[in-house]
Amino acid sequence: MAKETPCELCLHPGGEVIYRDDNYRIVLVEDERYPGFCRVIWNAHVKEMTDLATAERAILIAAVWQVEEAVREAMQPDKINVASLGNMTPHVHWHVIPRYENDAHFPNPIWGEVKRTPSSADLAKRQALVPRLRETLLARFNQSLL
C-alpha cells in the first residue's frame, strides 16, 4: 500500500508553539477575529480521541482543561467553545476558543454564519490580553513539569 502524504499537523506546528512535550503541543492560532484562540495538538498522527489509549486521552484532555482555564483567566470571555473535529486534518487536535457576545459569529459557532463585524476597539482590547494568556499558559504548563 502506498504511504499516505504526511498531514499538515505532522509537517507543521500549526501555530505559535507555547508549550510542547513528548505527547502534545499547545499553539496560539493566528486568527485576527479570535485573539486567544488556542489548539492542543497530539504530536503523533492519530485520527480520533478513541484511537488513543485511555491514559493518553486523559493526558490530552487534562491539557485541554488547563488551556480552557488559562483562556478564561487571561481572556475573560463570555463563553468557551471546545471542539475536536478534524474533518480536513484527521490528526487529533482540540480547538479552545474564547467567545464574546459581540464577536464575529456569536451565538453561532465560529464555523457558522458571520453575525457582525466586531469593533476594532474590542479586537484590540482582546489582542492586548494575549501576552497575558501566553504567560498564564507558560506558568501552568511549566509548573506541571516540576
What residue ranges bind its own copies (CB under 8 A)?
47-50, 54, 57-58, 61, 65, 68-69, 72, 79-88, 90, 99, 106-109, 111-112
Measured distance CA(81)–CA(126) in Å, rounded: 16
Q: Minimum distance between the CB of residue 7 and its own copies, rounded to whole angstroms? A: 13
Q: Minimum distance between the CB of residue 83 and its own copies, rounded to whole angstroms? A: 4
By beta-carbon proximity to its own copies, the closer residue of 81 and 136 is 81
Exposure pattern of 39-54 as b/e (b: 16+ CB <10 Å)? bbbbeeebeeeeebee
Spatial neighbors of 94 by CB under 8 A, at least 6 apart, are 39, 40, 41, 60, 64, 67, 82, 83, 84
Q: Minimum distance between the CB of residue 50 and its own copies, rounded to whole angstroms? A: 5
By beta-carbon proximity to its own copies, the closer residue of 30 and 51 is 51
Q: Minimum distance between the CB of residue 53 and its own copies, rounded to whole angstroms? A: 11
By beta-carbon proximity to its own copies, the closer residue of 128 and 133 is 133
By beta-carbon proximity to its own copies, the closer residue of 83 and 128 is 83
Residue carrying the nine cell digits 464555523: 111
Measured distance CA(3)–CA(28) in Å, rounded: 30
